[in-house]
Structure 1
Amino acid sequence: MPGMADQPRLLEGLDPEQRAAVTAPRGPVCVLAGAGTGKTRTITHRIAHLVQLGLVVPQQVLAVTFTARAAGEMRTRLRALGAAGVQAQTFHAAAFRQLRYFWPRVHDTQVWPLVDNKFRLVVQAANRVGLSTEKESVRDLAGEIEWSKSCLVSPDQYATAAARAGRDVPVVPQQLAKVFATYEQLKNDARMLDFDDLLLHTVAILEEHPEVAEEFRGRYRSFVVDEYQDVNPLQQRVLDAWLGNRDDLTVVGDANQTIYSFAGAAPKWLVGFPKRFPDATVVRLERDYRSTPQVVALANKVIGAARDRPAGTRLKLIGQRPDGPEPDFAEYDHEPAEAEAIARKIAALAGRGVPLSEIAVLFRVNAQSEVYEKALSDAEIPYQVRGGERFFNRTEVRQAVVALRGAAGRGDEPGADLPGSVRAVLGDVGLTDEPPVGGSARERWESLIALVELAEELAAVAPEVDLARYVAELEQRAESQHPPTVEGVTLASLHSAKGLEWDAVFLVGLAEGTLPIQHAEDEAGVEEERRLLYVGVTRAREHLHLSWALARAADGRRYRRRSRFLYGVIPDRHPAAMPAKTRTPEPGPPRKQATPRCRTCESVLVSTMDIKLGRCSTCPSDVDEGLLDRLRAWRSDRARQLKVPAYVVFTDATLTAIAEQRPSDEAALVAISGIGASKVRKFGDDVLSLVQREHGRN
């Protein structure tokens, strides 16, 4: 049999589970591969094994993944294993290749070209419907169109599907559906395709033209899908069309790393693979070769606390590397202090020989990067921002600086103090008192509010500073934060860090409201945030530092608390586990308790709803129904006045928590999860008045 002499070489160095996956017979194979367990090595060796046994011809194997980088790495490894000729591509690249071949036969024309400027078409569609064509608004509209197409949702189905999925829709759903339909019409009139069309038209050709499907299936006999937990309904439909009624399919994935559900990804096909293919070979890879046992143990704690985990997600990593340092935890008074301390730790690591390119600072949202850019610049440590623009390069920041410079040039100081003036000027470029629910508008808001906090920080150390001095400070910071492009520390969001790894990882900003993000209000959203932290932890090979700050600005009120995901993870005797005993209380409403507990039975609260209500779901509710009705009526009136959806004022869960806990003053009100200082300023008097009025009746 050809290639038999190469079999020992192919199987050398594989652990028993990897070997089982590599040598599994042709047919359905599901590899549940935890982080750092060598999944790419396993699937490339499996393909090469089948090729060298003569069970498949390289040109008949189609391996798909989600990034061009991953596909390129797969092709390189396959060539080295003697399996050159295997098609390793992204879903979209594979579909485009097929369309270029089959489209002329089906439509009697050459395949339509790809849209060269999708943004421009969405702008035209939004303009025709009468919606805003500002950049961040159009980005949100484009994102919803992409989600719809990836989930096989047509324009007329959008409103119902978005409501069912709990989407944070940027405009009225019916208006977005009109934008979607208009966009499709404009694109089709121009005889062009967007990226999602590559998959949609591939499905249509294979499903509607049996002779094309027969030819394709004669050419490709064996399929491999990497990162299978990230497939969306459209990609699964393409895969089904490729397969037909065959089952020569190997899938590899880790449901614990599903972090793209907002884009339509779902792990249900990975988890449900054995049910769909009852004869499938299922292999679990749990030996972690990337991280030290100490990092692995922390990762297992983080993901092990997830609620209602399906069977296919219960991987428990087993560290294979020698022991390393214990993960470190730290709480800081404010974000600048956190960033400065991390810059010092990075300098110390570099002094001990850790290359700067092997160090990463990972955060939840891109707006968090600015304080770390400044701290690293001040420490003369080179860095690079991955997956996003540097803070002062962002469109909204450049627009804000132009507006601030103009106001300073006119001598216009619209506020009583510097922070007030900055807020007033930025109000004209989109800064609102309350953060938007999510999407591009939220990212823009985070950037603008960071400029306000810079003003607060400057005013705290130099009360006499004016707007002109503040603008000069911004310009100086912008100039100093453009170091030469050299090897340096990586600054990246947790999402953009997926698939990467470093010797040392700093996970920063791990506070409630940031991780989990504030708008993750249901259980599914919170669990996705937990998986995001798990992804961050598993990026570290040896050194891992987790931290959070109690306030944004140096002079800010310390009302934050650490992320709920860290409860039960930080060792009991660690100083960061007992912050309340080591800090002097500040004036004003007290900082929320470090560990949220049920006010009835004192159990530690974990779920979003339980924390918000202040009690376990199994403990009895003492809600005041009359108060709840009046709170709802008041919220409706305020929402109409402010011209915002009702949940922007307060969510149903927050109103229920108020009606149960019946706060008597601001301190009690701000202690309810979901009510921050800004909402107390805006709505506190009304709410407390309602509570007192209802209490007086009783």
Structure 2
Amino acid sequence: MSADSLLDALDPEQRAVATALTGPVCVLAGAGTGKTRAITHRIAYGVRTGVYRPASVLAVTFTARAAGEMRVRLRDLGASGVQARTFHAAALRQLGHFWPKVVGGAPPRLVEQKATLIAEAGRRVGVGVDRVAVRDLSAEVEWAKVSLVTAEDYERAAAAARRPTPAGQDAQAVARLMAAYEDVKTERGVIDFEDVLLLLAAMLAQRGEVAEEVRAQYRHFVVDEYQDVSPLQQYLLDQWLGGRHDVCVVGDPSQTIYSFAGATPHHLLTFGRHHPGARVVRLVRDYRSTPQVVDLANRVLTATRRPSDPVPLHLVAQQPDGPPVRFTAYEDDEAEAAGIAARAARLIASGVPASEIAVLYRTNVQSEAFEQALAAAGVGYQVRGGERFFSRRDVRDALVLLRGGARSADPDVPLGQTVRDILTSVGWAAQAPAARGAARERWDAMQALVGLADDLVAARGDVTLADLVAELDDRAASQLAPTVDGVTLASLHAAKGLEWDAVFLAGLSDGLLPISLAQTEAAVSEERRLLYVGVTRARTHLEVSYAASRTPGSRSTRSRSRFLAGLWPGDRVRLGARRTTAVADPEVLERLRGWRARVADERGVAAFRVLPDVALEAVAAAMPSTPADLRHVQGLGATRLREYGEELLRVVADEDDPDVARSARTKLR
């Protein structure tokens, strides 16, 4: 493949990315717009044209799976030798190389779990450390470290970030625990994952010979998912760059969904300030989803966008028309799970592979109902975020057999047949077991290995069993599991970066999405972005649902998510004298914000405690003129209606007549 032929498969914007080989480049890439294709072709084009030496390029991303996928694509494009790793994997490799020279001896042992160390630190400072507390405190320590917040600065930083205090502890107690945690690690001679980045960054900043060696090695940097970098990761990237500007960053502010863990789109949004003259390329052609899915995705972001939010990319669908998005309200969670299982079964019967169907939800505890419903419907499934594929004992046993078989495999027997013959002894058969359970799960895993062998043959032609084993070893290192034939159950966070032919977005009620823990306007905005990520996972079929109650026969206390206001079929609101979809009146919204600021000041509370932005925007879109109108506005509960209803009507009408106020008060009661 020639250098120029690499560009033939790219659209004009992707080609602009691929040919911008030097200097700072910022790629704003919407969901489904081919960002990985653009950046891998950019690297391969740079290698083919001689601008890059493969070993001089470092591409970093956020998951081992994404890094593994990038390496596979680069290899297929003829750019083997390029380093594609996660931040932590790249840093750990460099730290291991320099530690004996700089410090002496082997690096400290890396601990993968903080629980034991956090528990010991808690005991030392008198902080309660039950299992839930340990989990929450571990997460808070991680947030502080990736945010470059020390124990001494924690109280101030946590207050500024409006962090909820974990495990019922006050900020002073958490700060004491953080200091004790560092002491425990030092005494035991261990480091955690955040230390890997901190130690390497410090080494690069303080030791000129180390920085010189790394910067001589790596001349060109690519950072994927740049909207999710933490201050710590940005600090390390700055040390790698050393003031240079040969860096290409790729991201989408509308897909920032990990702020709770320290991720921030700030660095993406301000890239041009730190890299003057940066070239900005926008990828908006959506090759993944039908126009129906793309339209809903665009509307989710723009329906009630806050003025402070970055302007989202407007996706332009490239796929042909598909079925309309389905919206369903169920009576309870059990009915919702059963309904989705039945719909999934019908899709499978119509020809959609089970592996191309996903059920996505906000919290992991929601998965149980769908597991039971799918099992009852006879539909296979896999829970993403459960036991990792390569950690399964039956998969490990299969890999041992395949390695042994590679030494004596008959070259005249097709790879697919060889793999089938070997795996027959560990649960594979030509027909899947009829019943669900352990036997079916084992068969699904073996069938995934068989399918991978067939895919390799189809893609590369003459492939040996040794090649398959090497592929599996590489995938195991990257946790890039082969496809298992079953409906995927996953949280919205776990679904980031994935896609399916059919997606069910379940449990879309207020309290679940946005989750009740989202108490600030920024947190609610992030929940909206999470819904956007969920919508954009679907290629063709998208179904949106919520349940009015939790259990059969219980009172219907739930309302559908405020994010669906104006998007649900038949959900129309008043705008002037006509009926149309929800659009906030800017003048009314400005008056409402002024009213809210006065009320918040009088009561000495934050503005969002009076009413969040989404509620103000819904009121400004609905333009209610009567108490009955106001009751139909999403995001206003009974308490707020009683407390603020009359004032809201007055502000909307730009009316200060006390008689109007008295009339409204009577009717709202």
The Cα shift of 1:673 comes to: 3.1
- The aligned residue for residue 317 of structure 2 is 319
The 1:554–1:191 alpha-carbon spacing in structure 2 relative to 1, beyond 3 Å, is same
Equivalent in 47, 53, 61 of residue 43 of structure 2: 47
Provide Cα deviations, 1:207-238, integer angstroms capped at 9, x if missing partner: 01112111211111110000000000000000
Equivalent in 536, 555, 561 of residue 557 of structure 1: 555
The 1:622–1:169 alpha-carbon spacing in structure 2 relative to 1, beyond 3 Å, is closer
Provide Cα deviations, 1:254-299, integer angstroms capped at 9, x if missing partner: 1110000000000111111122222111110011111111111110
- Write the mapping of 1:537-548 to structure 2, written as runs, cut at 5 A: 537-548=535-546
Provide Cα deviations, 1:603-660, integer angstroms capped at 9, x if missing partner: 97989xx99xxx943557997999x79xx9xxxxxxxxxxxxxx9xxx95489x9xxx
Q: Which amino acid aligns with 1:277?
A: H
1:33 aligns with 2:29: yes
- The aligned residue for residue 17 of structure 2 is 21
- The aligned residue for residue 567 of structure 1 is 565
Unaligned runs of 5+ in 1: 391-478, 579-594, 598-602, 633-646, 658-662, 677-694
- The aligned residue for residue 334 of structure 1 is 332
Equivalent in 90, 94, 97 of residue 94 of structure 1: 90
Q: How many equivalent pairs are there?
A: 527
The 1:312–1:135 alpha-carbon spacing in structure 2 relative to 1, beyond 3 Å, is same
The Cα shift of 1:358 comes to: 0.8
Give the SS at the match of 1:98.
helix
- The aligned residue for residue 164 of structure 1 is 160
1:57 aligns with 2:53: yes
1:492 aligns with 2:490: yes
Q: Distance in 2 between matches of 1:6 and 1:312?
A: 39
Give the SS at the match of 2:544.
strand
Conserved 8 A contact 1:654-1:674? no
Provide Cα deviations, 1:490-510, integer angstroms capped at 9, x if missing partner: 111000000111110000111
Equivalent in 282, 285, 288 of residue 283 of structure 2: 285
Provide Cα deviations, 1:361-389, integer angstroms capped at 9, x if missing partner: 10011111122122212212121111248
TM-score by length of 1: 0.70
- The aligned residue for residue 151 of structure 1 is 147
Q: Distance in 2 between matches of 1:36 and 1:290?
A: 5
TM-score by length of 2: 0.73
Q: Which amino acid aligns with 1:71?
A: A
Q: Distance in 2 between matches of 1:296 and 1:272?
A: 27
Conserved 8 A contact 2:23-2:245? yes
The 1:371–1:616 alpha-carbon spacing in structure 2 relative to 1, beyond 3 Å, is farther
Conserved 8 A contact 2:219-2:246? yes
Unaligned runs of 5+ in 2: 389-434, 445-484, 576-580, 616-626, 641-665
The Cα shift of 1:40 comes to: 0.7
Q: Distance in 1 between matches of 2:219 and 2:635?
A: 60
Identity, % of aligned positions: 53
Q: Distance in 2 between matches of 1:258 and 1:54?
A: 35
Conserved 8 A contact 1:271-1:313? no
Q: Distance in 2 between matches of 1:387 and 1:309?
A: 35
Q: Distance in 2 between matches of 1:238 and 1:624?
A: 41
Q: Distance in 1 between matches of 2:352 and 2:63?
A: 28
The Cα shift of 1:41 comes to: 0.8
CA RMSD in angstroms comes to 3.3
Q: Which amino acid aligns with 1:550?
A: A
- Write the mapping of 1:394-433 to structure 2, written as runs, cut at 5 A: none
- The aligned residue for residue 368 of structure 1 is 366
- The aligned residue for residue 459 of structure 1 is none
The 1:620–1:526 alpha-carbon spacing in structure 2 relative to 1, beyond 3 Å, is closer
Give the SS at the match of 2:503.
strand
Q: Distance in 1 between matches of 2:101 and 2:362?
A: 47
Q: Distance in 1 between matches of 2:21 and 2:598?
A: 60
The 1:255–1:309 alpha-carbon spacing in structure 2 relative to 1, beyond 3 Å, is farther
- Write the mapping of 1:531-542 to structure 2, written as runs, cut at 5 A: 531-542=529-540
Conserved 8 A contact 1:149-1:234? yes
Equivalent in 622, 629, 637 of residue 673 of structure 1: 637
The Cα shift of 1:481 comes to: 7.9
- The aligned residue for residue 71 of structure 1 is 67
The Cα shift of 1:513 comes to: 1.1
Conserved 8 A contact 2:331-2:552? yes
The 1:319–1:117 alpha-carbon spacing in structure 2 relative to 1, beyond 3 Å, is closer
Provide Cα deviations, 1:419-467, integer angstroms capped at 9, x if missing partner: xxxxxxxxxxxxxxxxxxxxxxxxxxxxxxxxxxxxxxxxxxxxxxxxx
The Cα shift of 1:167 comes to: 0.8
The Cα shift of 1:311 comes to: 8.7
The 1:513–1:523 alpha-carbon spacing in structure 2 relative to 1, beyond 3 Å, is same
1:125 aligns with 2:81: no
The Cα shift of 1:308 comes to: 3.9
Give the SS at the match of 2:3.
helix
- The aligned residue for residue 231 of structure 1 is 229
The 1:267–1:309 alpha-carbon spacing in structure 2 relative to 1, beyond 3 Å, is farther
The Cα shift of 1:116 comes to: 5.4
